[in-house]
């Protein structure tokens, strides 16, 4: 069954040779090949300011690029988020984007109503998070407990109602030879065909 998929490409460098971009394109190619509808949000190309206060987050007017991204997220049934691990977490630009996009009134109910624990408004959507990193993926998972990935899953995606959430960790990216890079691209294309 065809799905509506949005790919959030979270690498803050707009250079086309970034491996995260190749992974996103492979996933999209696989998804389109079997009839899934795919849209992309390239965080590096968006214009928005960082939030600086709770009042701004709760009631400030989102930038036009954020409104467009919210429309794409609302349209989607499945969300793919791809980013490189920087200083142990997602790049600041991606975090700033998520803070802007996952606002009350869109991803959460109006926070000023004060009626108990807020329930996410993006229920019914699934997600996959793909993280590339310089260290071995097992080391990030074992030694660091994949803390930043778990934070994105629990504190952002599940909080706004998105589940199930799957993950793909790709380690030693800079050290991978061309054959290993192509293997990961093939895996991403297969995931795109499956729509998960």
Token pair in block for residue 26: 């492979």
Tell me, yes or no, if the pTM score tops 0.85: yes
| pLDDT reported for residue 177 | 87
1-6 average pLDDT score:
95
On whether the CB atoms of residues 83 and 90 are closer than 8 A, the answer is: yes
| pLDDT reported for residue 193 | 97
Domain 4-194 has CATH 3.30.70.20: no
On whether the CB atoms of residues 30 and 191 are closer than 8 A, the answer is: yes
DSSP structural state of residue 127: E
Domain ranges of the chain: 4-194
Q: Angle at CA 194, nearest 5°, toward 86 and 76?
A: 70
- Residue 79 — very low, low, confident or very high, per pLDDT cuts 50/70/90? very high
Token pair in block for residue 73: 């997220």
DSSP structural state of residue 86: B
List, in order, residues 6 or more apart from 131 with CB less than 8 Å away: 82, 83, 84, 85, 149, 167, 168, 169, 170
Question: Across-strand partners of 39?
Answer: 6
Question: Across-strand partners of 167?
Answer: 129
DSSP structural state of residue 62: P
Residue 142 or 112, more confident: 142
DSSP structural state of residue 135: S
| pLDDT reported for residue 113 | 58
DSSP structural state of residue 108: B
What is the percent of the chain with per-residue pLDDT over 90, rounded to a whole number?
85
The edge-to-edge listing of strands for the beta sheet with 126-132 is 37-42, 4-9, 78-84, 126-132, 165-170
pLDDT digits (tens, 9 = 90+) for 138-174: 999 988 888 889 999 999 999 999 999 999 999 999 8
Neighbours of 15 (CB within 10 A): 8
């Amino acid at each position: 069954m065809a799905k509506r998929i949005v790919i959030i490409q979270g690498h803050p460098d707009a250079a086309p040779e970034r491996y995260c971009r190749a992974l996103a394109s492979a996933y999209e190619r696989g998804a389109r090949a079997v009839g899934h509808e795919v849209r992309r949000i390239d965080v590096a190309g968006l214009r928005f300011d960082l939030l600086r206060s709770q009042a701004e987050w709760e009631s400030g007017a989102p930038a036009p690029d954020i409104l467009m991204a919210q429309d794409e997220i609302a349209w989607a049934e499945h969300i793919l988020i791809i980013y490189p691990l920087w200083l142990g977490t997602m790049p600041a630009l991606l975090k700033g984007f998520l803070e802007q996009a996952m606002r009350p009134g869109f991803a959460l109910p109006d926070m000023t109503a004060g009626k108990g624990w807020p329930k996410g408004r993006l229920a019914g959507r699934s997600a996959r998070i793909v993280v590339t990193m310089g260290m071995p993926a097992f080391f990030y998972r074992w030694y660091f407990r994949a803390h930043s990935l778990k934070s994105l899953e629990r504190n952002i995606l599940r909080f706004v109602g998105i589940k199930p959430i799957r993950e793909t960790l790709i380690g030693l990216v800079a050290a991978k030879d061309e054959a290993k890079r192509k293997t990961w691209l093939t895996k991403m294309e297969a995931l795109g065909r499956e729509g998960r």
